[in-house]
Amino acid sequence: MIINGKKYIFSRGVAFYPEKEMEILKEQAQQGWEFRKMNVLGFLTFTKAAPENKKFSVDFFSGSKDDLEEYLSLYKEAGWESIATYKKKYFYFKADPYTPTIYSDEESYGVRMYKEWIWMFWQHLLSIPIGLLLFWVAVQMGKWKMVHTVWFISIRMLLMFFGTFFTVMPLSVILNVVFSLIIYKDRRKFYNRPEQFAKKQKFRRDMIVLMIIGAIIGALMSYTGLADF
């Protein structure tokens, strides 16, 4: 969609579909849309510019602030221009079409994937106490001896929703990681051929499968009573 001269495309998931996402950036650049950033809502943002033929890459930065300058210099020396960052962990780069990838072997790319997913897991794990607290408050509100007005019920439903959301988020991250390791177990072999790997990725199919698995897990949780806390 285009709003006020800016184009927005929903991100496929920078952690699980970076190869597919970089192909989107490449196609948009060829059409005259310059990538600017990924916003907090998960939309890739573009502005109108002159068409260009470039290749793109997004990398996960696992170092400290002191390592950042050296990290970016490494990319620059290899022919990659830093163009955007997301959460100061994901850095977007562009280069001429025949510029070699920064990773030189399967092992180093595998380490990059491992550090990224571990970081994601711990980030989402921190949300569990918040989710449990919200869920607990919602359950206690149901026991209050007072008139349950529309506002009261609405607030309780919101607490239940966000409590469930923050609690199951780490589970969804683990599910995505396991799913990716099984379905795309050969991803590391394409460390220097991301464009070819992007063709193997089936985003819509994967989302349908994950939704079905999630629904089954949710039904099992409800059946066993875990969802009621």
Report which of 114, 109, 116 is spatially closest to residue 90, judged by C-alpha positions: 116
Residue 174 binned pLDDT confidence (cut-offs 50, 70, 90) = confident
The lowest-confidence range among 43-47, 124-128, 153-157, 189-193 is: 124-128
pLDDT of residue 225: 42
Q: What would the pLDDT profile of 115-173 be if each residue is shown by its tens digit?
A: 998 888 887 777 878 888 887 888 788 777 776 778 888 888 888 888 777 777 777 88
Residue with tokens 């994601």: 120
Q: What is the CA radius of gyration of the chain?
A: 21
Angle at the Cα of 106 from the Cα atoms of 100 and 112, rounded to 5 degrees: 90
Residue 104 has pLDDT above 60, yes or no: yes
Tell me the pLDDT band of 223, cut-offs 50, 70 and 90: low
User: Would you place residue 217 in the very low, low, confident or very high pLDDT band (cuts 50, 70, 90)?
Assistant: low
Say if residues 30 and 52 touch (Cβ distance below 8 Å): yes
Give the type of residue at 190: F
Q: How far apart are CA 148 and CA 77, in angstroms?
A: 64
pLDDT tens digits, residue range 133-145? 887 888 788 777 7
Q: What mean pLDDT do residues 79-98 have?
A: 95
